[in-house]
Amino acid sequence: MTIARRLFSALPTPKNLGYSFDPLGRVGLAVILFWAMVAIFGPLIAPYPPGKIVDWDYFGPISQAYWMGTDYLGRDIFSRILMGSRYTVGIALAAVTIACSVGIVLGMIAAVAEGWFDMILSRLLDAFNGIPSLLFGLVVVAAVGSSIPVLILTLSAIYMPGSYRFARALAVNTNTMDFVTVARARGEKTTYLIVREIFPNILGPVLADLGLRFVFIVLVLSGLSFLGLGVQPPYADWGALVRENIEGLSAGAPAVVFPSIAIASLTISVNMLIDNLPRKIRDRSDS
């Protein structure tokens, strides 16, 4: 059995989480689930094709036909937000999954292995982490070209070193605990120490860090799209929708306001959920 499969099996299940969310946590979870459903099913229920010009009056007002108005070309904003959710949520989720999975596994391995492996890997990733995230994204996307795989890998590379440093710091502290020392004295292998002793005891902070990095990735992706280097036309994520219509803010505010609200609602809801992680996860990590 691989390390990845063992880590997955060590994750808490709904049975032992207890779902101890307070009202703010429930609201955050509800909004996140709403946008997840929109990302999956939204394009199927969009009233108009997202790239079709449906109104010859550009920056059209909110009406019964166009619930959120139209953009600078006369395309339905509501339909484009539904389609854009698939790119914003999907790219951010894929990038944060890759970044945190690789960073957490490498961080725990480095903390347990110590020695030259830990030193070399930490120094390399520290040097990489010193590059400004948006600048690195701009350089890579401008050089290689903007596509969904490039965006996912670029965003993953930007945030993997930070995830590594965070997981390593937690794992180093846990690695000095008595129960880990006892397990090592019993002759347990590195895989056992990581999966059974270290990972369950850093799970709470790691989940909080994953949520924060998801928010950061959404914002960086929106920033790249705002600069014209994100998802390319005729498709668009929420950041691209803001960029496309920003010049018409005075004439067609809904075309800018609604995508901005979508970005804000998703990022704020993730933060609300992070602050209200199930109590049993926090207790398990702090014990």
Q: Which phi and psi (to 5°) does residue 226 adopt?
A: -65, -30
Domains: count for the chain: 1
Q: Give the closest residue to 206 by CA, choosing from 76, 68, 72, 111.
A: 111
Cα 242 from Cα 225, distance rounded (Å): 9
Q: Is 14 part of any domain?
A: no
Q: Which phi and psi (to 5°) does residue 193 adopt?
A: -60, -40
Cα 81 from Cα 256, distance rounded (Å): 11
Q: Is 190 part of any domain?
A: yes
| Whether the predicted pLDDT of 201 surpasses 90 | no
Tell me: the pLDDT tens digits for 13-68?
444 444 456 788 888 889 999 999 999 998 888 888 888 888 888 888 888 888 89
| Whether the predicted pLDDT of 284 surpasses 90 | no
Tell me: the pLDDT tens digits for 82-98?
998 989 999 999 999 99
| Whether the predicted pLDDT of 146 surpasses 60 | yes
- Whether omega for the bond prior to residue 161 falls within 30 degrees of 0, making it cis, is no
Geometric angle at alpha carbon 179, from 174 and 180, rounded to 5°: 55
Q: Alpha-carbon Rg of the chain, whole angstroms?
A: 22
Q: Is 108 part of any domain?
A: yes
Q: Is 63 part of any domain?
A: no
Tell me: the pLDDT tens digits for 223-280?
888 787 888 877 788 888 888 888 877 777 888 999 999 999 999 998 888 877 654 4
Q: Give the closest residue to 20 by CA, choosing from 283, 259, 250, 285.
A: 283
Q: List all residues 6 or more positions away from 54 whose beta carbon is below 8 Å from its beta carbon.
A: 48, 66, 70, 74, 75, 76
Q: What global pTM score does this model have? A: 0.81
Q: Is 7 part of any domain?
A: no
Q: Is 278 part of any domain?
A: yes
Range of the domain at 245: 21-56+68-286
Let me know: does 25 contact 273? Beta carbons within 8 Å: yes
CATH of the domain at 98: 1.10.3720.10
